[in-house]
Amino acid sequence: MSTKIAMSDDYADNSDLQKGMLRYVFEQGYIKNAVEGSFEENRTRFQQLDKPYVIVDLGCADGKNSISVYKEIICAVRGLAPDLDVSIYVVDLPSSSFGDIINTVLSGLKDVPRVHVYAVGKSFFTSLFAENQVDLFFSNEALNWLSEAPCPYAGMDFFSLQEDHDEETRAKWMAVTEGDWNAFVTNRCKELRKGGRIIVSVTGSCSPLDEVDLAMIREYKACLAAIQTTLAKFNLEECQKGMVMPSTSRTPDEMLKPFEELELASRVISIDTSALLEPTVAQFQKDNDGEKPAQKQAGYSMGWTEGVLRSALRDHGVEEAPVVTAFIKDYFEVTLVEKFRNIESISEKINQHALVIAKE
């Protein structure tokens, strides 16, 4: 089963969760520590002024959320090597509007000298660069996406420890989840220079599942029920198969497994599973108090699923703008909010993992 990943046009306005995780990464000093750690392990590299410091942003979306990251990295690099040029590669779906993304990044960095910006439209799970070329990979809230959704299941985000998966479904999803993560780690570790770093911040789950995870599973099931209800309203039941989200919330053990089983010439510096973030969406803050929890979660869902739903509708020949607009409005503003109101509880937290990897 193939489901296309796509971000909504107003992704940056519906990405408070992503911004919250970036704030956490800054507060914990992950970026500064990563650059300084690279310097200590490979000082010669920072003296090679003919080779720009290479930053790769995996899952840049429209580029707006990443500008603060680039500035933080460049500040750390220039504090150690003031004359070193910097090259930024933004990586996302081949269908992304890279001209607009590059212009956004260049505009945001207009006061920062000697910065070059390039684009790569390829899957994260393939080779992106030649070996030993990259100084720092960074990915924020993007590696929950998978290369495919192998089959339908009871939810909208795959939790390997969710109890109501049948064994065949669990096996199919685990094959994709593990295969994608192994491919990602293997390729990125090859592409890093000695002492280089990978920083990954991503939605995750605990082992065993905690109350936050269980609440999120209930909410994802509500999302699935809301989609089914909205499809029925619009007589679009045939679109259901295309609306399986190719995403997962990995446990810490699942993220660490390749480093125990594969020869990667890299090591895990740290894995932080303590981040619990609350998604708050600006356009829902003025609603009545009784509406806020359901509205807020519907807004969070909009930020990461609207583009996928639109893509699924297009794939089934539903391209009329009024129909698509009416479907999206009904799903997010009416049906999904109603489903969220009726579940046991709304989680105001989401488990997050932050992983830092170093090349030997």
Mean pLDDT across 185-207 = 97
Q: If DSSP states are collapsed to H, E and C, what string results for the chain?
A: CCCCCCCCCCHHHHCHHHHHHHHHHHHCCHHHHHHHHHHHHCHHHHCCCCCCEEEEEECCCCCCCCHHHHHHHHHHHHHHCCCCCEEEEEEECCCCCHHHHHHHHHHHCCCCCCEEEEEEECCCCCCCCCCCCEEEEEEECCCCECCCCCCCCCCCCECCCCCCCCHHHHHHHHHHHHHHHHHHHHHHHHHEEEEEEEEEEEEECCCCCCHHHHHHHHHHHHHHHHHHHHHHHCCCHHHHHHCCCCEECECHHHHHHHHHHCCCCEEEEEEEEEEEECCCCHHHCCCCHHHHHHHHHHHHHHHHHHHHHHHHHHHCCCCCHHHHHHHHHHHHHHHHHHHHHHCCCCCCCEEEEEEEEEEC
For the cut 80, the answer to whether the pLDDT of residue 222 exceeds it is: yes
Better-predicted residue by pLDDT, 16 or 49: 49
Q: pTM of the prediction?
A: 0.89
Mean pLDDT across 51-75 = 94
pLDDT in tens, 320-341: 889 999 999 999 999 998 888 8
Question: Which band of pLDDT confidence, cut at 50, 70 and 90, is reported for residue 7?
Answer: very low
Which segment of 40-54, 157-171, 268-282, 314-328 scores lowest on mean pLDDT? 268-282
Mean pLDDT across 82-89 = 98
Q: Quick one: pLDDT at residue 3?
A: 44
Q: Quick one: pLDDT at residue 310?
A: 87
